[in-house]
Amino acid sequence: MATATTLPQAGILTPAADHHLHIQSPQVTAELRRVAERLPAMFAGLNPAILDSRSGADALRVLDDAGVAQGVLLSEAYMYASVFATAGLANPARLTREENMFNVEAAEHSGGRLKAFIGVNPFCDFALDEIRYWGERGGAAGIKLHLANSGFEPDLEEHIGRLASVFREANRLGFALLVHLRPAGTYNEGHIDRIIEDVLSQAPDVVIQLAHAGGGGGLDDPTLLALERFCGAIAEQRPGTRGLLFDLAAVLVRDVGDSANVERLARFVAVARSIGLDRFLIGSDWPTLCSPLEHTALLLSQMPFDDDEWLVLARNRADYLD
Ligand SMILES: [Zn+2]
């Protein structure tokens, strides 16, 4: 099966899988372009290719370039019910279904190399219907939730309740969850404890992969604080933490010459070691910043793991890839 080889000293690492990729149909690309026209600041500093359509074949090509056997497609269908969605968009439920189908079909035509996660805004009124549709049809490995994009307010009881019901449904249907947890607004210890207590506990039997290692891309103090809270919950074997995984997608700093960033990277590695490296997955978030090959080189150049640790990270594969 998939093997990983690595020569970290030479700056080369070949992960067994890329656990965080995005393709886009022309339809969702058109919506993204409308958003980018209205909110250009949201896209500043990102790879301009994010505004082009990409297929499953494109994903296989960038995986081949990096020597990576398998990849995980995270549907961007949640864009249609996001807080940034074009006002008055006709039939967001149908558009959501079509984008999810685009991702699932790409996986189905990949000979087992690609797995698809459907996307949906968990706070929209058709969220559970969409999840149940895929439970019946099959073909999806899990559900991607982008909570910043979905307007998550962790102090709202209603939001915690809706998230809990989506996690419960995923658990019932055997869907892995892949969650960009960090909201656009504040993110503190109280919020994380509440999420562990009331949300993670609802999906004790499935993988819960926290995108960007529990942050929102980049590596700042709230992300480290969140990771430390999750570390404590795992040590206490809290319900919902058995299948908890963290992907390294875009967990990068912009300025490695900055001493505060050097300290953050060292602190990240220390927390990852105490959580256990078997819970950390390579993922690139292609094409948000760069290609999988370039992303792995950036991780290698920034994170002070030793060679043996990089080997472990490169070999890690989430169960849903089987
Ligand atoms: Zn992503």
Taking only the tens place, the pLDDT of each residue in 21-65 is 999 999 999 999 999 999 999 999 899 999 999 999 999 999 999
Quick one: pLDDT at residue 2?
Answer: 40
| Straight-line distance from the first to the last Cα atom of the chain, in angstroms, rounded to the nearest whole number | 10
In terms of Cβ atoms closer than 10 Å to its own Cβ (0-12, 13-18, 19+), residue 298 is: middle
User: 283 C-alpha to center of ligand 1: Å?
Assistant: 9
List pLDDT tens digits, range 81-102: 999 999 999 999 999 999 999 9
CATH number of 13-321: 3.20.20.140
pLDDT at site 187:
87
Structure tokens at 201: 């506990």
The domain spans of the chain are 13-321
Please give the distance, rounded to the nearest whole angstrom, from the Cα atom of residue 304 to the centre of ligand 1: 23
User: Could you tell me the distance, in angstroms and rounded to a whole number, from the CA of residue 247 to the centre of ligand 1?
Assistant: 10
Distance 117 CA to ligand 1 centre (A): 12
Element (H, E) at 37: helix 26-38
- Give the Cα-Cα-Cα angle 209, 125, 134 (nearest 5 degrees): 50
- The pLDDT of residue 9 is 47
**Amino acid 11: pLDDT:** 55
Q: Is residue 281 within 8 Å of residue 299, measured between CB atoms?
A: no
Task: Find, among 166, 193, 161, the residue nearest to 177 by Cα.
Answer: 166
Give the Å distance between the CA of 23 and the centre of ligand 1. Answer: 10
Identify the pLDDT of residue 1. Answer: 37
Q: Residues in the chain with pLDDT < 70?
A: 1-11
Q: How many CB atoms within 10 Å of residue 140?
A: 27
Cα 131 to ligand 1 centre (Å): 19
Cα 20 to ligand 1 centroid, rounded to whole Å: 6
d(CA 231, ligand 1 centre) in Å: 23
CA 275 to ligand 1 center in whole angstroms: 23
- Ligand 1 centroid–CA 285 distance in Å is 5
Phi, psi at residue 146, to the nearest 5°? -115, 95
